[in-house]
């Protein structure tokens, strides 16, 4: 049930509308009604939230989440993924298609959307597969997928190695004005690799994955993009060379966007330590030069969004030899705290951090939300920026626990999450209507 809510004395950070200051915010009928620098009277029967000392920001949107349903419900479901999302301040997530029943048909898209409606927690936007079965051989029916509700096309988890096929999907997607999201990895360069190629891989005796495995594919797809005039979104950028190419392409006016995951701008390949599979992911954690380049790109606008690449896995997937460990970590419930590491270090301003988590993602995929102008959906995240907490993977709302950040102390935490004017998470507890 929608209620009238008055947030009082919050620091409102709304990058799209140039707001950063103490404001009162009134929400009615699931939408932002008023943002005022003067105190607003509380309407009769309104819930009043004293937000003194807190940030009131547009609800976060994650462009890159693996919900594992259908097919691997033991790792995550749409419901448990949505629980983790709102606990992390995310009011919307884009669900990747590389489920065990691949989302390459309207039927699977509709299943994901049905599960999201049943969960009734946050918005779920499915992404459809570029190729049937993610095999990289035959294009999926893009029109059918988009008609069913997909907001992007991607074979995430696998690169499209066939350049001619990649060129065709960029051309085809222009008819629907949706981005083609790419996992950039030249499999001939990464084959057999377990982590970033560098001093740490040499010390551990592990075969490395060179940065060129990513950079070469970014270069190829930018050439194809320039020729086709499509829309390209580069997922989980990890290398200095990729950043440089994307920056130059943007200056030339190409329609390219990109995202960076928190683990790539917080950790480098040394986090692998002595074969810690919780630090094993694709693309791998890179060198300190790459981390520095990613941070610079977050500041200068080359990067459009912070996305988690939330990838749940079971205990047995990680408690194996490093080379056999499955790539990926969960990220929805740690994303804010890790992003705020850069704020507390003076790398990012609060406004830029909020933009990368909300307005940026909304713009990239053309999604609702991302701002707080009157009439906007009341998708709101309330942040306690100075609250310290220790990551405890055993208390995650996600069904999986695979994170290298367990035991790490972070500063800055979600206080409340509101979706469509309804409080779905407050002070560490879910507020489900199921």
Bind-site residues for substrate: 66-68, 98, 313
The residues, ordered by sequence, that sit 6+ positions from 383 with a Cβ below 8 Å of its Cβ are 54, 55, 56, 57, 89, 336, 412, 413, 414, 415
CA dihedral in degrees (330, 336, 342, 347; nearest 10)?
Answer: 120
The per-type count for the chain, helices as H runs and strands as E runs, is 14, 19
104, 186, 309, 317: the active-site residue: 309
φ, ψ of residue 410 to 5 degrees: the values are -120, 160
User: How far is residue 94's CA from residue 79's CA, in Å, rounded to a whole number?
Assistant: 14
What is the rounded distance in angstroms from the CA atom of residue 96 to the CA atom of residue 125?
Answer: 9
d(CA 285, CA 409): 21
Helix axes 78-87, 106-119, angle to 10 degrees: 50
The tokens for 348 are: 């990012």
Residue 368 Cα to chain centre, angstroms: 15
Q: Binding-site residues, please?
A: 64, 66-68, 98, 156, 183, 236, 309, 313
CB 287 within 8 A of CB 198: yes
Asked if 153 and 128 count as a contact pair (C-beta separation under 8 A), the reply is yes
Cβ(161)–Cβ(132) below 8 Å:
no
Residue 256 forms beta bridges with which residues?
A: 232
Q: What is the CA radius of gyration of the chain?
A: 21
Q: How far is CA 31 from the centre of its chain?
A: 24
Q: Report d(CA 292, CA 48) in Å as an integer.
A: 43
User: Can you give the length of the chain in residues?
Assistant: 434
Q: Please list the alpha-helical segments (H only) found in 233-308.
A: 240-251, 262-266, 288-300
What are the binding residues for Zn(2+)? 64, 66, 156, 183, 236, 309
Catalytic site includes residue 359: no
Catalytic amino acids?
A: 309
């Amino acid at each position: 049930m929608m209620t009238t809510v008055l947030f009082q004395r919050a620091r409102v950070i709304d990058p799209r509308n140039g707001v950063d200051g103490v404001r009162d915010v009134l929400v009615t009928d699931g939408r932002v009604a008023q943002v005022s620098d003067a105190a607003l009277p509380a309407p009769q029967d309104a819930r009043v939230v004293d937000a003194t000392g807190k940030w009131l920001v547009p609800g976060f949107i994650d462009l890159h989440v693996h919900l594992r349903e259908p097919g691997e419900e033991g790792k995550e479901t749409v419901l448990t993924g949505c629980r983790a999302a709102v606990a992390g301040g995310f009011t919307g997530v884009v669900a990747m298609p590389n489920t065990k029943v691949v989302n390459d048909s309207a039927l699977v898209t509709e299943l994901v959307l049905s599960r999201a409606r049943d969960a009734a927690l946050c918005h779920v936007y499915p992404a459809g597969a570029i190729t049937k079965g993610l095999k990289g051989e035959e294009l999926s029916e893009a029109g059918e997928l988009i008609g069913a509700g997909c907001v992007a096309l991607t074979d995430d988890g696998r690169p499209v190695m066939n350049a001619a096929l990649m060129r065709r999907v960029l051309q085809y997607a222009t008819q629907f004005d949706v981005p083609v999201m790419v996992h950039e990895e030249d499999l001939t360069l990464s084959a057999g690799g377990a982590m970033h190629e560098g001093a740490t891989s040499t010390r551990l005796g592990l075969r490395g994955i060179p940065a060129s495995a990513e950079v070469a594919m970014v270069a190829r797809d930018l050439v194809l993009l320039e020729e086709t005039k499509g829309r390209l979104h580069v997922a989980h950028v990890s290398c200095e060379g990729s950043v440089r190419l994307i920056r130059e392409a943007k200056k030339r006016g190409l329609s390219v966007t990109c995202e960076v995951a928190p683990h790539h701008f917080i950790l480098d390949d040394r986090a692998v330590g002595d074969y810690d599979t919780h630090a094993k992911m694709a693309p791998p954690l890179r060198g300190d030069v790459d981390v520095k380049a990613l941070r610079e790109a977050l500041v200068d606008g080359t990067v459009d969004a912070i996305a988690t690449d939330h990838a749940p896995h079971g205990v047995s997937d990680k408690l194996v030899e490093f080379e056999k460990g499955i790539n990926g970590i969960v990220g929805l419930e740690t994303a804010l705290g890790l992003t705020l590491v850069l704020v507390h270090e003076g790398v990012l301003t609060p406004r830029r951090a909020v933009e990368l988590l909300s307005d940026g993602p909304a713009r990239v995929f053309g999604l609702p939300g991302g701002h707080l102008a009157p009439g906007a959906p009341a998708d709101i995240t309330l942040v306690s920026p100075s609250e310290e907490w220790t990551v405890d993977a055993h208390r995650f709302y996600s069904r999986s626990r695979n994170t290298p950040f367990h035991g790490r102390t972070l500063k800055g935490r979600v206080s409340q999450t509101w979706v469509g004017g309804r409080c779905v998470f407050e002070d560490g507890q879910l507020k489900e209507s199921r």
